[in-house]
Structure 1
Amino acid sequence: LNHNASTIVTIFTITGFDTTKNPMLVGVVILIFYIVAVVANVVNILIILYNKKLHKPMYLLICNLAIVDLLYTTSASPTMIGVLVAGVKTISYVPCLIQMFTFHLAGVMEMFALSVMAFDRLIAISCPFQYHSYLTNAHTVVLTYVLWIVACAFVAVLPATVIPLPHCYTVLKYTVCNYSAIIRTTCVDPEYYFNLAAIITFFLSFFTFGFICLSYVGIIYFAKLSSNNDKKKIASTCLSHLIVVICYYFPVFVIAILTRFGVVLTLEERNGLNIGTILGPCLVNPFVYCLRTREIKNEIIKMFSICQKS
């Protein structure tokens, strides 16, 4: 297309995987990971919803994280699987914008969900006797709703800045419809928009990560004052959360820090890290909480034993 002539875009072509060796193999691997992530998260949600004993703030937050993970992986994985396995490389304009919004919304909510879970652990450890009066189920649900609304407000900036822009290209150089990919198809200098996205990402990442770190400083301080038996319990509940936090933030910071320091990532490296950020937490989270949370583990064992008897 002519560089200067803006065009009305109805369809984008996704070319992020064009240089991938063995696209079918990569696609099948992503498909398997996606199915496992969806099943594991849905099982977690159903166990928590149907078991009245698990209607407690901590489990409601685990349930919320599972919903976020489902949104996160479903916003991107089917498109990637379609490109790699079925060779469907096009996506219409409106679905592309919807994908961009849900993809970034889930990314922001993942940070918020992990922050609230750190806060939940801090309250549980620092004021165990007041915990149930501070964090009731109603408070937890209201807090979660507020966070979803705040996340939507942050992410609404992206479509608001993209939609008015004229488009000169129809090729997306990335693997999904994210903000950067769509901005690159417009006729404007992308620098301002990339900086805007970078500022929002930087603010949210460092604010939430800083909040989680401060919560852990508090947790470590109160853990020192606890008995040895309590210390083991504290370590056990916090380890699940720490694994999940590292799994999410590590690739985010690698991409942010390397690109800010001028390290140019190849398309394959960037794609690999992006797929890691999308699929990693969604796969790890349900298993970490299934295997490390006694109540959820017991429910799963009970379900399996009932299935075998029948």
Structure 2
Amino acid sequence: METTACNGSGHSSTIFYLVGIPSLPKSLFLPIFFVFLLLYLLILLGNTLILVAVVTDTRLHKPMYFFLINLSALDILFTTTTVPKMLSLLWLGDRFLSFPACFLQMYLFHSFSCSEAFILVVMAYDRYVAICRPLRYRVLMTPHTNVALATCAWLSAFLLPIPAVVQTSHLAFDNTAHIYHCFCDHLAVVQASCSDTTPQTFMGFCIAMVVSFLPFLLVLLSYAHILASVLRISSREGCSRAFCTCSSHLLVVGTYYSSIAIAYVAYRADLPLDFHVMGNVVYAVLTPVLNPLIYTLRNKDVKAAITRMTCPRDPKNVGKP
């Protein structure tokens, strides 16, 4: 790999400087800090409520909700990887990251992102079996199968980003490398290098296609079968019930891939750098904050479980009208 001259003497001495949003006035740092703090607290609260409700309520010990708690755990981990550093940047002006910290953040950010895409595919498969193979649902979606599917989703996602992260770590950087982003995103780190970055950019693009486009096709395939089965249902009540079982997941999938589309267009289109950064920030925050809202507002079982957990009935009033 050919490299241009760098001032850095080695990776151990490289410090990454997060530029953030370049044209953002300092007067807006505090208001934006409180906006992101509020969103982060909503993500933690909403997803923790779902986790506790599903784990403690035996009525929710079903495959669909088992995958839901995986999704909630991922949303908490995904945002915790990036948002606290963004808050620190806005509040304290803390823009520096060591070489290991930057690459750990990059690896975890992309691993959790991949995990979410794969869990959404597994949830789509669960809905496919529930609607298209209802008589075999209990046979196909056993606890052992559910754990195996979730484990495969997590392990695959933790393995896929490794080649890109390792190759990027071998690039040459100045002693102080400026990252035009709010956190260590792969493409932003690659662009901060003074090496030939073409192979890393191409590899990052290929991995992004594998972990976003391929899962999206699998989700579409599942819902094509679901739609075909629903259209064969003669009763309007049956169609409505089938649609209701998928509506929350469809909204989550729509939100997730809409945020990916925003981030992708922001990177690829000829837009100012601020739009590139904000596109990825929207992707990092939008889905995790909307997921708990979607599942608590549209899913009667989850809503009822959270209500029972947060507002327990007085035993003395049980049985009274």
TM-score using structure 1 length? 0.93
The match for 2:91 is 85
Give the counterpart of 1:156 among 152, 162, 185.
Answer: 162
Give the counterpart of 2:244 among 236, 243, 254.
Answer: 236
CA distance in 1 between partners of 2:157 and 2:78 (Å)? 13
Q: State the Cα distance separating 1:308 from its structure 2 match.
A: 8.9
CA distance in 2 between partners of 1:307 and 1:271 (Å)? 47
Alpha carbons of 1:251 and 1:142: their partners in 2 closer, same or farther (altered >3 Å)?
Answer: same
Give the counterpart of 1:122 among 121, 128, 132.
Answer: 128
CA distance in 2 between partners of 1:304 and 1:63 (Å)? 18
Deviations 1:64-106 (A, max 9, x none): 1101111111111111111112211112221111111110011
Q: State the Cα distance separating 1:52 from its structure 2 match.
A: 2.0
The match for 1:203 is 210
Give the counterpart of 2:285 among 264, 279, 284.
Answer: 279
Q: State the Cα distance separating 1:109 from its structure 2 match.
A: 1.0
Deviations 1:143-186 (A, max 9, x none): 11111111111011122112222212521111101111222232
Q: State the Cα distance separating 1:4 from its structure 2 match.
A: 3.1
CA distance in 2 between partners of 1:185 and 1:272 (Å)? 18
Alpha carbons of 1:4 and 1:205: their partners in 2 closer, same or farther (altered >3 Å)?
Answer: same
CA distance in 2 between partners of 1:61 and 1:186 (Å)? 39
The percent of aligned pairs where both chains have the same amino acid is 27
CA distance in 2 between partners of 1:149 and 1:179 (Å)? 20
Q: State the Cα distance separating 1:259 from its structure 2 match.
A: 4.5
The match for 2:258 is 250
Whether 2:193 is the aligned partner of 1:189: answer no
Give the counterpart of 1:6 among 5, 8, 11.
Answer: 8
CA distance in 1 between partners of 2:260 and 2:199 (Å)? 21
Q: Which has the larger radius of gyration?
A: 2
CA distance in 1 between partners of 2:37 and 2:210 (Å)? 33
Name the SS of the counterpart of 1:129 in structure 2: helix
The match for 1:146 is 152
CA distance in 1 between partners of 2:92 and 2:312 (Å)? 39
The match for 2:70 is 64
Alpha carbons of 1:175 and 1:307: their partners in 2 closer, same or farther (altered >3 Å)?
Answer: farther
The match for 1:133 is 139
Deviations 1:257-300 (A, max 9, x none): 5654xx21222212222121111110111111122222211111
The match for 2:226 is 219
CA distance in 1 between partners of 2:90 and 2:261 (Å)? 27
CA distance in 1 between partners of 2:293 and 2:127 (Å)? 19
CA distance in 1 between partners of 2:160 and 2:313 (Å)? 45
CA distance in 2 between partners of 1:5 and 1:30 (Å)? 36
The match for 1:291 is 297
Whether 2:37 is the aligned partner of 1:37: answer no
Alpha carbons of 1:307 and 1:103: their partners in 2 closer, same or farther (altered >3 Å)?
Answer: farther
CA distance in 1 between partners of 2:196 and 2:314 (Å)? 62
Alpha carbons of 1:19 and 1:307: their partners in 2 closer, same or farther (altered >3 Å)?
Answer: farther
Q: Which amino acid aligns with 2:303?
A: K
Provide the aligned length of Structure 1 versus Structure 2.
307
Alpha carbons of 1:259 and 1:88: their partners in 2 closer, same or farther (altered >3 Å)?
Answer: closer
Q: Does the CA contact (< 8 Å) of 1:289 and 1:296 recur in 2?
A: yes
Q: Which amino acid aligns with 1:73?
A: T
* Structure 1: unaligned runs, 5 residues or longer: none
